[in-house]
Chain A
């Protein structure tokens, strides 16, 4: 019967996106960087922008992301990806220019660049992967680490007396008039992953329509440095990170609804 049909006769409902290079990534098992890479690649495929997309890779675990996409790429100095994206977009305004940054890059050393890129209303997109820790350097406290969170540089938990409070970047950037589309999504379950992909696609459309700055913040995991299994890390995102970093649309200008 139909069940015995050879696999070639079956309909492919999910396969590797074209915009993702056929390369094994260096990410740890269960790291959601792989998921966000795939979502970005799927959005590029679906918008047919494979020949026009440029990724500006940042510093952090995502430092090799220029290798992992089959699109044009550029590597920025630590935190300076929005500045480089600004230059690329201004000389080639017909290209899709996006940065792919972690929280140590965007919310720490690169805070000035991201805020001014948004304030200028640069028509670039930032994909902001927030996992509340410095992954590549060995699990130190990040500006986004939660109060009480144990890291290698806060072994007794983040003290707000000494280290202050985490920065909610989406809320900060949503206050700026140059921002057109600022949303926060999470990658902790299948439903939220699907919503995240839709948001990335919308952000790319916002850029191509020239409406202004767009950013999608993705709550992500770091199983290795959190000291958890991959599935426990997803639970930790849902139970601990989402209450501190509420998911939602923080700035969506009216023109976005017409896209």
Chain B
């Protein structure tokens, strides 16, 4: 399985929760313990089992372009 990860620009996030709805691995949650500069609870990647595949669906649906998606390089065979 391809491994990936994302970074979230939490100050840009408006807490709309669309990314949490499309994540096929359910590793995105709303960070209810944090308030960002805008006053929203931002999205947070909670992926202790490293399930994220870097599929980028969260980034495609994010209206505020908060998410950058990375994938691990595929090792040469």
Contact = CB atoms under 8 A, between A and B. Distances in A.
B16 A14 contact: no
Contacts of B21: 231
Q: Is the interface of B mostly helix, strand, loop or mixed?
A: loop
Interface residues of A, number: 35
B65 A34 contact: yes
B70 A12 contact: yes
B5 A7 contact: yes
Given A14-B59, A25-B64, A35-B61, A230 B70 contact: no
A65 B5 CA distance: 31
Nearest to B22: A190
A239 interface: no
A13 B71 contact: yes
Interface in A168-195: 189-190, 193-194
A50 to B, nearest CB: 16
Q: Is the interface of A mostly helix, strand, loop or mixed?
A: mixed
A10 B65 contact: no
Interface string A1-43: 0110101011111111100100011011111111100100000
A234 B18 contact: yes
Interface of B: 3-5, 7, 11-12, 14-18, 21-22, 38, 40, 50, 54, 56-57, 59-65, 67-73, 75
Task: Please give me the 6 A-B residue pairs with the lowest Cβ-Cβ distance, nearest first.
Answer: A34-B63, A30-B16, A29-B14, A10-B70, A14-B69, A29-B16
